[in-house]
Structure 1
Amino acid sequence: MSTATARHPVALNYAAQSDVVVTPDASRVQLALEGSRGTVGVSGQVKDPTLFRDALAAAFAVLSSDLRYRGRDRTAYLAYLMKQGKRASAQIWEAQKAFLDNALEGEEKKDAVLDPVLTVDPDQVSLEVFSRDESAYARLAFDNSLFDKREAAHGSTFLDVPQDLPARLDRLRAYAPVTLEAHVAPTAKATPATEPRAPRTVEVPHAWLRGFLQVQSAATLPATTCSIAPIDLYNLLFALRTRRSKKAPRALRFELVPGAPPRLVLEPWEQVLECHGGAYTGSAPAVVRTFGRQRLAALARLLPHAKSVHVQLMGPGLPVFWVIDLGVATLTLGLTGWTESGWSSAAAFDALMPRDVPDGLAEKLRQRLRQDGPLPFDMLTKDAGAPKDQVRAALQLECLRGRVLFDVARGTYRPRELMPTPVDEAALRYGNEREARAHRLLGDGGPGSGEVKLTQVHDLVGEGTRIQGEVVDREAVRSFFPSFTMDLEGRVKDAGCGCPHFRRSGLREGPCEHMLALRLAYARRRAEEEALRQTPEGRKLIRAETRAYVRRDPATGLEQVYRVSLDGKVVALTWGPRLGDSRHQRLWFDTDTEARTAYFSRLEKLTADGYIDAASTLV
């Protein structure tokens, strides 16, 4: 079975159905838990029913969200044309209807996802959900202080969420006492909604499970963190709700300057939102562009309860984590680099896979967490007696196996058994067979399996990057020459390749393995060059490069963009407002060394003048 169609069977056995029972004097939230994981549960009276209701509603909104594009059903229009005697035969109408029925049937099977995961810890109870479009992960945690007379049995299991449960939650009122009962079997008198249910098996696609675990494990990576006030999040959501853009770029840009409050910039309107949550405390200025901003609408219901908002930016193409502090509760929202989890993000998820994990280290760390509970990374590293990179890789491996959870809000690792048996990370290594073959071409599948060369990389100012390459496939005993243009949002256009897959279907069935290999090779080379250019030896190897720096005038709010390019003996300068006319200058030097010295001197002067390096966000 291929990786794209492989599925992980999960047996679910619920003794009842989750329900919300509302009476004039009191309300009771009955959450049915899966019964095969042992005794797990929590009960108690909720001190803040309004917060409890809105937080659960926000988490369930993430669970049901699906922002993928869906084509229109044209069967009704074809039937109308038939009645008018237009050119639409019955055969065409029947064929289209049969095609749509088959497509929707496959889509329903593809949409099979895991039920939410409920984890009861000694200090809190948490709920984890993953959206249907595989682009949003949320973890809602309630502290023990939210409940009176709390009784709990620790562990992890699945939670039943009927389709009408979010609507039933809206019936909860703050003036009436609210009691939470989350148990395997109902404790109250059975009602029609709590009748025993037949066991069922959910065939969870490996692609969905891979996204769920990798997005969560991305939280363990180093990140750039900033804080904004709840009113800033309100302004952002209001601006997104009242504006729609039909053309790219559609990014949410973070401008971070040490000692100054963060700025949020909405593209393509260049609307600047000044934040009020305190100064950015990072050591270096940064500009980070994120995409899929409409997914933040799920946070709107939490605004009345929010105390503060923290944002963790992993890097271009990697997930972004929004942590909403609600006082006695916390909601962590993790968003993938793009709403459409397309192949452009394959290189980003490749960075999430752990490497060089010593035998036994991962199991040792997991046992320590099970014994002592939540622990920060520094304490785990100190007790493990291993280098930090190996400890981080081991913890990331346990996250991918579903046995360890990283709590972004508190910065600690927690034990959490997602499945009764560990998830095989090898089965989730690649998203599909073509991605596995792409890694083989890069040499990840063994020596001599292939060779990937970047022949040309063109920076298209204001458009993106044009990438061309050569892929030597020794199994096919020939070479292929893939190419594509990657725009400012990471999307791909103008792609081409000479392989049979591309000649047959183009990009309709996804990219071929040669395009994937070229995309991965480009991402890896960019990472290597960025690390190498920080050293004097690495700078000597640079012959051609383009960097962009930005600075915003605090008085007018206008952004100035300064672009510096090195090409052999020539240094080219372009500067001016982002949305206006630019000025250009070219400088010629006698030797490459003189041009390179002038190039880096110019970059250092821009940094001293308050410009922010934004090359990775503008190209």
Structure 2
Amino acid sequence: MTTATRHPVELRYATASDVESTSDASRVLLALEGSRGTVGVRGRLKDPALFRDALTAAFGILSSDLRYRGKDRTAYLAYLMSKGKRASAQIWEAQKAFLDNALDGEEKQDEVLDPVLTVDPDSVSLEVFSRDESAYARLSFDNSLFEGREAAHGSTFLDVPANLATRMDRLRTYLPVSLEAHVALPAKATREPRKVEVPHAWLRGFLQVQSAATLPANSCVLAPIDLYNLLFALRTRKAKKAPRALRFELVPGAPPRLVLEPWELVLECHGGTYTGTAPAVVRTFGRQRLVALARLLPHAKSVRLQLMGPGLPVFWVIDMGAATLTLGLTGWTESGWSSAAAFDVLMPRAVPDGLAEKLRGKLRADGPLPFDTLVAAAGGASKEHVRAALQLECLRGRILFDVAKGQYRPRELMATPVDESVIRFGSEREARAHRLLGDGGPGAGEVKLTKVHDIVGEGTRIHGEVVDREAVRSFFPSFTLDLEGRVKDASCGCPHFRRSGMREGPCEHQLALRLAYARRRTEEEALRKTPEGRKLIRAETRSYVRRDAESGQEMVYRVSLDGQVVAVEWGPRTGEARHQRLWFDTDTEARTAYFTRLEKLSAEGYIDAASALV
């Protein structure tokens, strides 16, 4: 990774964070970075156990890394040498040198910023990002947790030594505990500055999670016992085959259901009924990352989920009274593909001059504010322009969207604003893919979807044609999206794919085709909800499912439109189905009857099964 893809940051700490304990009291000393001015907070903790467990859980998310790592075989080679096998000392030394270089480069590439601590008039919060770039967490402590609170408002970085989580675990909560977070602590030696080169890919992911939090979402509430049941099921089972999704079944007026795949284990929830207007199924992946929430179970009062949709983050908001943890989980193994398909829509488009600065000044003057208040203060600007301006400030690191409270907050992530043009694309290939779609300035190409083939039980096979005007030729990429949204059986005729296949990631033509497919699906779903769009549909098949609360058995309805014929097939998933065919005089009558039947199924609590495959 070249220096051009990194953001240099110099961190200056006067001392290291520590936990001091005596026979009659304890102090948690948090060292803050000193180049951002006077920032800090101090006070006695009213609930030390809550503070300890919440902070330890956040540190666990910070250090988590679930990426696959190859095994070190040097010990095995040494064993072969001791047995006189064909493993020479030269081979052993060469492999050791290779692994040392690889690990050294990996540590530099994985270098991330320290956690960001922000002191606001109403709270103090800590933001962390996991080492595998797949989990973001924001831990917020209300002023009600402190007694005799003194604070200097602002944002800076927090020093987290490797042993701090262990020392926090040993904190004796039956004794008085106080918190002191300062830029410079007295009677301590000054440490040497530490220079960190943060990859733009990490910074881009951090800021995009903030922007994703502003999108519309399906929201549901779980009880703490529901989270316990989920974590218990994950701890006592191990999936040996795909799919490994956590599926949410949301029916208006009914409690949410959690379904663990591939066992189809149904967990009934007890946190209240789903208040959405339409049934929905949302499949999420990377469920093992939820294990970090186990530490919070004794303090949790409620759990709220923000389900953004396919390819977008899922936010878990754990309400613990005086503390709140917001955990944002992005895509799983194919994170590069999901980001290319989903985060593109988060980038701001046209923003009126001066609007972003005006809104940021309003937030700095009046504190956290909801979106409607900011629209009223925008001086006549439309909601679309206000939302685009706020997203732009989120990408620059100047504004934070508080998912737990639904408010925007001022927060300076870096000492200088982040240049959004530098972090807009994750790689050169992704930038070229957007150029082919017409998003990246001159030299735009043309992307066509030539064939989309749904394969029952496997996924969707997508073929396309990409006209690359810079290369003065056309390419014909194709790939299969499986039921988990992962890409397999990819092909393309470009030099990049012919040279390395998928070992170095997808080529720009495959990325452009993936983006074009995602955009077309979004447009089609929006169009079919309008009278004009429905007139274009002459043949279509939809499946709807509903699970019986007592027996757990699924009832399936399959409704098809084919010209003047509407065919209906219904029955239990594992039983014998019944059939019905209805003929109409005109296509219009058949289409009206078809959509009337679908709306009736939705009103009765049936869920569109197509959304479960996203």
Interval containing the TM-score (normalised by the shorter chain): over 0.9
Deviations 1:120-169 (A, max 9, x none): 11111111101011111111111111111111111000000000000000
1:418 corresponds in structure 2 to: 413
1:357 corresponds in structure 2 to: 351
- Structure 2's unaligned 5+ residue stretches are none
- The answer to whether the aligner puts 1:539 opposite 2:540 as a matched pair is no
Q: Is the 1:344–1:519 Cα contact (8 Å) retained in structure 2?
A: no
How far off its partner does 1:597 sit?
Answer: 4.6
Q: Which of residues 518, 525, 538 is equivalent to 1:523?
A: 518
Q: Is the 1:449–1:474 Cα contact (8 Å) retained in structure 2?
A: yes
1:99 corresponds in structure 2 to: 98
2:462 corresponds in structure 1 to: 467
How many pairs align? Answer: 612
1:9 corresponds in structure 2 to: 8
1:393 corresponds in structure 2 to: 388
CA spacing shift, 1:23–1:311, aligned 2, 3 Å? same
2:234 corresponds in structure 1 to: 240
After superposing the two structures, state which structure 1 stretch, 419-428 or 609-618, moved more.
609-618
Amino acid at match of 2:446: E
Q: Which of residues 384, 391, 399 is equivalent to 1:404?
A: 399
Amino acid at match of 1:135: S
Q: Which of residues 274, 299, 306 is equivalent to 1:305?
A: 299
How far off its partner does 1:446 sit?
Answer: 3.0
CA spacing shift, 1:404–1:238, aligned 2, 3 Å? same
How far off its partner does 1:607 sit?
Answer: 2.2
Q: Is the 2:74–2:95 Cα contact (8 Å) retained in structure 1?
A: yes
1:178 corresponds in structure 2 to: 177
CA spacing shift, 1:422–1:83, aligned 2, 3 Å? same
SS in 2 for 1:427: helix
Amino acid at match of 1:281: T
SS in 2 for 1:445: coil
- The answer to whether the aligner puts 1:600 opposite 2:595 as a matched pair is yes
Amino acid at match of 1:442: L
CA spacing shift, 1:451–1:505, aligned 2, 3 Å? same
- After superposition, residues 127-526 of structure 1 pair within 5 angstroms as 127-187=126-186, 189-190=187-188, 195-338=189-332, 341-384=335-378, 385-446=380-441, 449-526=444-521
1:37 corresponds in structure 2 to: 36
How far off its partner does 1:542 sit?
Answer: 2.8
- The answer to whether the aligner puts 1:77 opposite 2:71 as a matched pair is no
2:124 corresponds in structure 1 to: 125
How far off its partner does 1:95 sit?
Answer: 4.4
After superposing the two structures, state which structure 1 stretch, 295-304 or 549-558, moved more.
549-558
Deviations 1:45-79 (A, max 9, x none): 11111001001001111101111111222233334
Amino acid at match of 2:164: L
CA distance in 1, matches of 2:433, 2:410: 34
- After superposition, residues 607-618 of structure 1 pair within 5 angstroms as 607-618=602-613
1:50 corresponds in structure 2 to: 49
CA distance in 2, matches of 1:458, 1:423: 42
How far off its partner does 1:616 sit?
Answer: 2.5
How far off its partner does 1:106 sit?
Answer: 2.0
Q: TM-score, normalised by structure 1?
A: 0.94
CA distance in 1, matches of 2:282, 2:466: 32
Q: Is the 1:41–1:120 Cα contact (8 Å) retained in structure 2?
A: yes
Deviations 1:314-338 (A, max 9, x none): 1111011111111111111111132
After superposing the two structures, state which structure 1 stretch, 549-558 or 118-127, moved more.
549-558
Q: Is the 1:253–1:287 Cα contact (8 Å) retained in structure 2?
A: yes
- Structure 1's unaligned 5+ residue stretches are none
CA distance in 2, matches of 1:480, 1:558: 47
CA distance in 2, matches of 1:136, 1:112: 16
SS in 1 for 2:377: helix
CA distance in 1, matches of 2:411, 2:5: 24
Q: Is the 1:133–1:340 Cα contact (8 Å) retained in structure 2?
A: no
After superposing the two structures, state which structure 1 stretch, 44-53 or 329-338, moved more.
329-338
Q: Which of residues 552, 561, 576 is equivalent to 1:557?
A: 552
1:20 corresponds in structure 2 to: 19
After superposing the two structures, state which structure 1 stretch, 339-348 or 229-238, moved more.
339-348
Q: TM-score, normalised by structure 2?
A: 0.95
Q: Is the 1:473–1:479 Cα contact (8 Å) retained in structure 2?
A: yes
How far off its partner does 1:592 sit?
Answer: 6.1
How far off its partner does 1:17 sit?
Answer: 0.5
Deviations 1:255-287 (A, max 9, x none): 111111111111111111111111111122211
CA distance in 2, matches of 1:128, 1:257: 33
CA spacing shift, 1:411–1:605, aligned 2, 3 Å? closer
How far off its partner does 1:91 sit?
Answer: 5.2
1:114 corresponds in structure 2 to: 113
Amino acid at match of 1:143: D
CA spacing shift, 1:607–1:601, aligned 2, 3 Å? same
CA distance in 2, matches of 1:569, 1:475: 47
Deviations 1:372-406 (A, max 9, x none): 11111111111112111111111111111100011
CA distance in 2, matches of 1:582, 1:28: 68
CA distance in 2, matches of 1:119, 1:477: 51
Q: Is the 1:137–1:216 Cα contact (8 Å) retained in structure 2?
A: no
CA distance in 2, matches of 1:242, 1:491: 26
CA spacing shift, 1:549–1:225, aligned 2, 3 Å? same
Amino acid at match of 2:10: A
CA spacing shift, 1:513–1:461, aligned 2, 3 Å? same
SS in 2 for 1:284: coil
Deviations 1:91-123 (A, max 9, x none): 554444343333222211111101000101111
CA distance in 1, matches of 2:268, 2:216: 25
Q: Is the 2:334–2:486 Cα contact (8 Å) retained in structure 1?
A: no
Amino acid at match of 1:600: F
CA spacing shift, 1:476–1:277, aligned 2, 3 Å? same
- The answer to whether the aligner puts 1:68 opposite 2:67 as a matched pair is yes
How far off its partner does 1:610 sit?
Answer: 2.7
Deviations 1:597-618 (A, max 9, x none): 5543442342244311231222
How far off its partner does 1:88 sit?
Answer: 4.6
After superposing the two structures, state which structure 1 stretch, 86-95 or 219-228, moved more.
86-95
SS in 2 for 1:471: strand
How far off its partner does 1:85 sit?
Answer: 4.8
Deviations 1:525-569 (A, max 9, x none): 001111111111111223554433220012201223434455667
CA distance in 2, matches of 1:130, 1:153: 24
Q: Identity of paired residues, percent?
A: 82
How far off its partner does 1:81 sit?
Answer: 3.6
